[in-house]
Amino acid sequence: MPGFADRLNGIAISASAAMTDKASALKAEGKKIVSLSSGEPDFPTPDHALDAAIAAGRAGDTKYPPQAGKPALKRAVQAKFLRDNGLDYALDEILVANGGKQIIFDAIMATCNPGDNVVLPTPYWISYADQARLAGASIVQVPCLEQNGFRLMAADLDAAITPQTKWVVLNFPNNPTGACCPKEDMQAIAKVLLKHKHVWILTDDIYEHLVYDNFEFCTIAQVEPALKSRTLTVNGVSKAYAMTGWRVGFCGGPKELIAAMNNMQGQSTSGINTLAQAAAVAALEGPQDFLRERALEYQARRNLVVGLLNAIPGIRCHKPQGAFYVYADISACMNKVSAGGRQIATDTDFVMGLLEEQQVATVQGTAYGMSPFFRLSYATDTATLEEGCSRIAAFVAGLK
């Protein structure tokens, strides 16, 4: 058989996708799976976004789109950044892509060379690391410890930056921990980054509207305007607007970086689906009050899940301020044997045992760079969350 590219060495299918696929296979066998592995809202796409897509199709908006995004969507993104973040981007400083993931891929591939480093506060979303490796770069992890609420300490970030650092990636609210970055922390981080003028900054703000307990979101170029000229502000409609399948991500950044990213995009996908762009315009320009209503529902689900997990002997669960995940500490469950006879030596053993013996799908902390933890998504209904936590309790109770 012909060979494969060396760049794929060490690159695996996303752990969350793999767990979701395995759960789907078990469902197909007739198993009653409680799926808490996928970061996908259970709310519907807003009706006005659906209507806009249908109207666009009927109006004949079905031809190749501009590669960087249709003018109407770029204007909607421009207005969103100004309205929500106080950031003023020109239209040639905005790029639209097939989800936030492609935005990040375009940025990394357009800038990184072998020998470069990408600094990742850890735990981190899986794809940041793998995309850096695909570009030939190495990752440098900055542990964000549970005892600090998984917050990024400015001094730790400063110590991780070297002359080889190409990017620092910020993701708050965070996947997988749900940790947020208060303004005073962001100011301290900005002070560090001002010193390192050779470093690009990528801030993934996809969970911006999913914050709780009256937390006030901020993004780094908003907090420190002097960093705007080397910051890529990434967002999209997938999480807040429950539009994951529409695949619409966008970003604002310096003109030269956006041009390089657009060049990269032109060699992969070109422009994105025209009907999805019409739906995204409607979402960004339409009513926004439902975002707060949905956030309050997620907050109630968070409270439920954190309470149920912390009631299980052997599990310790931090209470996050954003996103829709909890990242639970299972160190007390290690080096035991499950009721089904599985040796629990790692958090991967734990989540696989939990899936096979209690049919609950979660994701191991190892995938996010910090263990022994597991990630649970509470982007689903209350009954499912209660059933899932009940099964987790039964699994842990069976460990000997």
- Tokens 């997938």 locate to 238
For 277-326, write each residue's pLDDT tens digit.
999 999 999 999 999 999 999 999 999 999 999 999 999 999 999 999 99
Q: Which of 252, 224, 250 is nearest to 237 (CA)?
A: 250
Q: Is residue 15 over pLDDT 80? A: no
For 111-164, write each residue's pLDDT tens digit.
999 999 999 999 999 999 999 999 999 999 999 999 999 999 999 999 999 999
Question: Cα-Cα-Cα-Cα dihedral of 180, 182, 186, 187, to 10°?
Answer: 180
pLDDT at 30: 87
Q: Are 366 and 26 in contact (CB under 8 A)?
A: no
6-43+290-397 and 47-285, same CATH topology: no
223/170 Cα distance (integer angstroms): 14
Architecture category of domain 6-43+290-397 in CATH: Alpha-Beta Complex (3.90)
313/328 Cα distance (integer angstroms): 12
pLDDT at 113: 97
- Tokens 């979660």 locate to 362
pLDDT at 8: 86
161/215 Cα distance (integer angstroms): 29
For 40-68, write each residue's pLDDT tens digit.
999 999 999 999 999 999 999 999 999 99
Amino acid at 38: S
Q: Is residue 16 over pLDDT 80? A: no
pLDDT at 13: 78
pLDDT at 9: 85
For 153-188, write each residue's pLDDT tens digit.
999 999 999 999 999 999 999 999 999 999 999 999
Per residue, the 3-state secondary structure of the chain, as one string, reads: CCCCCHHHCCCCCCHHHHHHHHHHHHHHCCCCCEECCCCCCCCCCCHHHHHHHHHHHHCCCCCCCCCCCCHHHHHHHHHHHHHHHCCCCCHHHEEEECHHHHHHHHHHHHHCCCCCEEEEEECCCHHHHHHHHHCCCEEEEEECCHHHCCCCCHHHHHHHCCCCEEEEEECCCCCCCCCCCCHHHHHHHHHHHHHCCCCEEEEECCCCCCECCCCCCCCHHHHCHHHHHHEEEEEECCCCCCCHHHCCEEEECCHHHHHHHHHHHHCCCCCCCHHHHHHHHHHHHCCCHHHHHHHHHHHHHHHHHHHHHHCCCCCEECCCCECCEEEEECHHHCCEECCCCCEECCHHHHHHHHHHHHCEECEEHHHHCCCCEEEEECCCCHHHHHHHHHHHHHHHHCCC
Q: Is residue 12 over pLDDT 80? A: no
pLDDT at 238: 98
Kindly list the distances between the CA atom of residue 221 and the CA atoms of 88, 111, 146, 183, 194, in Å, as whole numbers in the listed order: 10, 20, 26, 12, 11
Q: Which string of b and e fits 273-310 if b means at least 16 CB within 10 Å?
A: bbbbbbbbbbbbbbeeeeeeebbeebbebbeebbebbe
pLDDT at 183: 98
Q: Which of 88, 60, 102 is nearest to 278 (CA)?
A: 60
The listed CATH number (3.40.1550.10, 3.40.640.10, 3.20.20.70, 3.40.630.30) that belongs to domain 47-285: 3.40.640.10
Position 10 confidence tier, pLDDT thresholds 50, 70, 90: confident
Q: Which of 356, 367, 362, 364 is nearest to 378 (CA)?
A: 362
Amino acid at 20: T
375/367 Cα distance (integer angstroms): 10
- Tokens 């690159």 locate to 11
For 242-282, write each residue's pLDDT tens digit.
999 999 999 999 999 999 999 999 999 999 999 999 999 99
Q: Quote the mean pLDDT of the chain.
A: 96
Q: Can you give the residue ranges of every domain in the chain?
A: 6-43+290-397, 47-285
* Residue 168, strand partner residues: 119, 201
- Tokens 């400015």 locate to 154
For 67-86, write each residue's pLDDT tens digit.
999 999 999 999 999 999 99
pLDDT at 11: 83
Q: Which two tokens stand for residue 11?
A: 């690159």
237/273 Cα distance (integer angstroms): 14
